[in-house]
Amino acid sequence: MTIENSLKKRKNTHKILFHLFFSLFSVRKTALEIKTPFSIVLLYMKSITYIILLFLVSACNAQSTHTSHTETNTITQPNTEMKFNVLTEEEKRVILNKGTEYPGTSEFTDSDAEGIYTCKQCNQPLYTSETKFNSHCGWPSFDDEIDGAVTRVRDADGRRVEIVCSNCQGHLGHVFEGEMMTPKNTRHCVNGVSMNFVEGGVKAPDIIANEPMDMSGMDTATFGAGCFWCVEVLFEKLKGVKYVESGYAGGKLKNPTYKMVSQGTTGSVEVAQIVFDPKIITYDKLVDIFFHVHDPTTLNRQGADRGTQYRSVVFYHNDDQKTIAREVLRKIDASDLWEDPAVTTIESIYNYSTAENYHQDYYNLNKENNGYCNAVIRPKVAKFQLKYKNLIEE
């Protein structure tokens, strides 16, 4: 059901209920005039019944509207071969679903810092600080874009002109002309949440091209080593690693939710799935690092995280990986790296699914305000960067 149909249904329902109540009170007035106690009691009972009916019908209509709204704003899973930056829910609402942030909420609105503004989703440079001005509209404003960075698209109603990133088509805002605010007579009204800021003199991150990643020659490794937030952030720093995805594997269900997995009854494991270039970093090196960055000797536990979803496991994708993983495990057990023997299992990959979007790149998106990131993950990252500094992408 569309929102329009739902609203029409609600309007018709309210008209019917209005007539019902009007009839009810007309009858009630007559009963009061003839002073019939039983009739008064009966009518009060009817009043209660109609009130309940009103509540139920309104609730159903409200539910229909909410469901329709959710369907309208459903975000499809991105193509995993096209690795744009992971977005928060608010960023997705604006950039992917063409929403608008509240005015006056962006730190960029009144900023006069020198540098460039880049696309939040793909890193493409969009505007320079020289073209920024304060329009007092509540949103960051610019009177010109970097050549070729912004595409103009007229809204469906023909009233306004939308602006999107020319590389990833992420929604930026709208452009207005003829307001005489600057000599260029143009105002790009941009959602601050659609942009990042790079200070002058600082190298901007590489643009993520809007084209499928070249997967020829790439390989995939999948490891369970405790909380996937902790594992993802480590392996993504390595040279030769194209991207890392948090997911679930090895359980009874093909597409479990985080809530299901957290209950520890699905058999699913929190895993990091790593796409890498074996010409730059080998699979056996990744497995060796895996055994160094978590404790493989504790059964179904990593630190304070307990449950089968945190078990130590290597999921192999082919027989060669199976052989390599077993050989690395044998060497680890033969060394003095760990006092106790490893309980890591080596299993064929099955029932793998990508975890929810908010789990992706979790540490990088939440390290400033999340206690777990600061207390647990940050020390691991620092230790990893020191130990593997020669293997880390600069």
In angstroms, the CA 295 to CA 121 distance is 35
Give the tokens for residue 219: 């390989």
Residues pairing with 65 in the sheet: none
In angstroms, the CA 373 to CA 198 distance is 24
Task: Report, in angstroms and rounded to the nearest whole number, the Rg of the chain calculated over CA atoms.
Answer: 29
Helices (H), the chain: 3-34, 37-72, 89-95, 228-235, 258-262, 283-292, 319-334, 362-366, 371-372, 378-387
Pairing of β 312-316 and β 345-348: parallel
Which residues are CB-contacts of 330 (< 8 A; sequence separation ≥ 6)?
A: none
**CA proximity to 351, closest of 208, 257, 262, 251:** 251
Give the tokens for residue 133: 């001005």
Active-site residue set: 189, 227
289, 235 Cβ separation under 8 angstroms = yes
The single-letter code of the amino acid at 359 is H
The single-letter code of the amino acid at 310 is Y
In angstroms, the CA 117 to CA 107 distance is 12
In angstroms, the CA 385 to CA 382 distance is 5
Give the tokens for residue 178: 């003829």
Angle 99-90-376 (CA atoms, 0-180°, nearest 5)?
170
Which residues are CB-contacts of 2 (< 8 A; sequence separation ≥ 6)?
A: 68
Which residues are CB-contacts of 303 (< 8 A; sequence separation ≥ 6)?
A: 226, 295, 376
In angstroms, the CA 292 to CA 98 distance is 44
